[in-house]
Amino acid sequence: MGWAKVAETVCPSARTLAVVGDRWTMLILRELFLGVKRFEEFQVQTGMSSNLLSTRLKRLEADGIIARRLYSKRPARHEYRLTEKGLDLYPLMLSLKAWGEKWGGLKRGAAPALSIVHKTCGHETGFQLRCGSCDAPFGAKDAVVTIGPAFAAERQKRRKSA
Amino acid sequence: MGWAKVAETVCPSARTLAVVGDRWTMLILRELFLGVKRFEEFQVQTGMSSNLLSTRLKRLEADGIIARRLYSKRPARHEYRLTEKGLDLYPLMLSLKAWGEKWGGLKRGAAPALSIVHKTCGHETGFQLRCGSCDAPFGAKDAVVTIGPAFAAERQKRRKSA
């Protein structure tokens, strides 16, 4: 089963993965969140081939996650920036960062690769997941997951056709 | 450049991607977070081949993200569950879900694929990202990112060797 097929689902997580679940794409997104805008720098910092990078950028643009702007006419050169849809991937980026800091096998006590300071309060920000309802800190063990009717039907169908 | 090379970095996000950045792996993790424990059900719900699934599960076990338990001796059958390291990927799963719900092109007004209820407060939980310092809701536009010395040196080195 390919991803075009996987993406035909009511599961929002799988649908996100169909768009940005490729790790090279996520590496480009990291660069964009770091403020990198230009092809050459994406290429240098990700180590991707020009072809591979070009394909990924086109896909991100087609998906409305980045927008392209001409900044030089001769030669024609483009800059890339995150759209609102792209900026909304920020929690995803932060959660990659947070997990890597804890479990990524980095040297203990080493200075962090980057600091994220909250503009408003001026302090280094960790990142807290909160229940959107009662506001308490929230983790996997605090959750009761119930699969809804459409997703349940989809899952049952897969079982039957297996 | 392959991922073994990409993973040699002080960037925690890239290190996370090196471990779980594969979308099939993320699909297995979704199943684990839904409470699925058995090989056959992973296979049915992800549509992966037995080989591909087996390789991914071994890798997740080697990385300490899942643990395997024998639940039947004849025939030998195993169950898989998330370790603490695996459970810590929950914010990542939630952010995939949240983005997909907003931007994944699902039918407006359709019942959600799954509901996540907070055990303690009993309500459906959204998910709020907060500044770990001042507790205010936090997004990409609220952040000032500064690259630390080790990551800056790594990036400069890449520029020089490009």
Inside any domain, residue B87? yes
Using one digit for the tens of pLDDT, what is the confidence trace for A46-82?
999 999 999 999 999 999 999 999 999 999 899 999 9
Which range has the worst mean pLDDT, A122-126, A143-147, B57-61, B117-121? A122-126
* Chain B partners within 8 Å of A16 (Cβ): 96-97, 99-100, 103-104
Inside any domain, residue A106? no
* Chain B partners within 8 Å of A56 (Cβ): none
| Structural domains in chain A (count) | 1
Please report the pLDDT score of residue A5 as a whole number.
86
Inside any domain, residue B142? yes
Examine the pLDDT at A1 and tell me if it is beyond 80.
no
Cβ of A87 within 8 Å of Cβ of B142? The answer is no
What is the CATH number for B93? 1.10.10.10
pTM over 0.80, yes/no: yes
- Compute CA distances B153 → A25, A91, A97, A113, B108, whole Å: 23, 26, 19, 10, 47
Distance, C-alpha B155 to centroid of its chain:
26
Inside any domain, residue B74? yes
Long-range contacts of A84-89 (CB under 8 A, 24+ apart): A85/B103, A86/A29, A86/A32, A86/A60, A87/B139, A87/B140, A87/B141, A88/B99, A88/B102, A88/B103, A89/A20, A89/A29, A89/A65, A89/B95, A89/B99
Is the Cβ–Cβ distance between A10 and A21 less than 8 Å? no
Q: How far is A81 from chain B (nearest CA, A)?
A: 13
Nearest to B89 among A35, A99, A133 (CB): A99
User: Which residue in chain A is spatially nearest to B133 when comparing CA positions?
Assistant: A125
What range does the domain containing B61 cover?
A: 3-105+115-161
Q: How many CA atoms lie within 13 A of A87 on its CB side?
A: 12
Nearest to A97 among B12, B35, B93 (CB): B12
* Chain B partners within 8 Å of A141 (Cβ): 87
Inside any domain, residue B110? no
Q: How far is A162 from chain B (nearest CA, A)?
A: 6
CA dist., res. B80 & res. B17, Å (int) = 22
* Nearest partner of A154 among B32, B44, B131, B136, judged by Cα: B44
Is the Cβ–Cβ distance between A86 and A100 less than 8 Å? no
Inside any domain, residue A105? no
Q: How far is A136 from chain B (nearest CA, A)?
A: 9
Reading chain B (162 residues) residue by residue, the pLDDT tens digits are 788 888 899 999 999 999 998 999 999 999 999 999 999 999 999 999 999 999 999 999 999 999 999 999 999 899 999 999 999 999 999 999 999 999 999 988 888 899 999 999 999 888 788 888 898 888 888 999 999 999 999 999 999 988
Q: Give B85's contacts (C-beta < 8 A, 6+ positions apart).
A: A103, B63, B64, B65
Examine the pLDDT at A2 and tell me if it is beyond 90.
no
Nearest to B17 among A26, A118, A147 (CB): A26
Please report the pLDDT score of residue A129 as a whole number.
85
Using one digit for the tens of pLDDT, what is the confidence trace for A32-52?
999 999 999 999 999 999 999
CA dist., res. B29 & res. B16, Å (int) = 14
Nearest to B125 among A14, A91, A133 (CB): A133
CA dist., res. A125 & res. B135, Å (int) = 9
Is the Cβ–Cβ distance between A77 and A71 less than 8 Å? yes
* Chain B partners within 8 Å of A85 (Cβ): 103
